[in-house]
């Protein structure tokens, strides 16, 4: 009976250790994804600020839109048609922020600009 209790204790400790390690890895992976998304958001926003001469308010809104975009991608990864729709929604929101001259410039650079989201 004592040997059975020792084996059960070892199994419980092993399970607890596995859960602890798994949780740590998951938190680390989520943190890395968030850091990566933040870096992409900053890079993409800086490019638009330079190319389209965004105001501070426009810059802040673009960051919010891109944050929503990347959060949406995390929740739907692997579904290309939905990813395309999320991108279209983000692009439409950005378009609403821009004046006519900025919209013209955005039309020229938007495909190249979106490649920054994948790098």
**pLDDT tens for residues 53-73?**
999 999 999 999 999 998 887
pLDDT band at 118 (very low <50, low <70, confident <90, very high): confident
Average pLDDT over residues 34-58: 91
Q: Which two tokens stand for residue 2?
A: 């004592």
Select the more confidently predicted residue: 93 or 74. 93
Cα→Cα distances 35→26, 28, 30, 58, 60, Å: 14, 10, 9, 22, 18
Cα→Cα distances 4→7, 8, 13, 57, 77, Å: 5, 6, 14, 66, 45
| pLDDT of res. 72 | 82
pLDDT band at 74 (very low <50, low <70, confident <90, very high): confident
| pLDDT of res. 44 | 94
Contacts of 79 (CB under 8 A, 6+ apart): none
Select the more confidently predicted residue: 14 or 56. 56
The 10 Å CB-count burial string (b at 16+, else e) for 38-74 is: eebbeebbeebeeebebeeebbebbbebbeebbebbe
Residue-averaged pLDDT of the chain: 80
Which of 53, 116, 65, 58 minimizes the C-alpha distance to 91? 65
Q: Is the dihedral of CA 52, 58, 60, 63 positive or negative?
A: negative
């Amino acid at each position: 009976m004592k040997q059975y209790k020792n084996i059960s204790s070892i199994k419980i400790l092993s399970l607890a250790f596995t859960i602890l390690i798994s949780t740590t890895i998951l938190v680390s992976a989520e943190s890395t994804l968030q850091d990566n998304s933040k870096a992409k958001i900053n890079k993409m926003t800086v490019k638009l600020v330079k190319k389209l001469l965004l105001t501070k308010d426009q810059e802040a809104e673009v960051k919010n839109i891109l944050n929503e975009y990347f959060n949406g991608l995390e929740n739907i990864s692997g579904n290309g048609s939905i990813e395309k729709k999320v991108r279209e929604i983000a692009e439409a929101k950005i378009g609403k922020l821009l004046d006519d001259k900025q919209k013209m410039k955005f039309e020229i650079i938007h495909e190249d600009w979106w490649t920054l989201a994948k790098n």
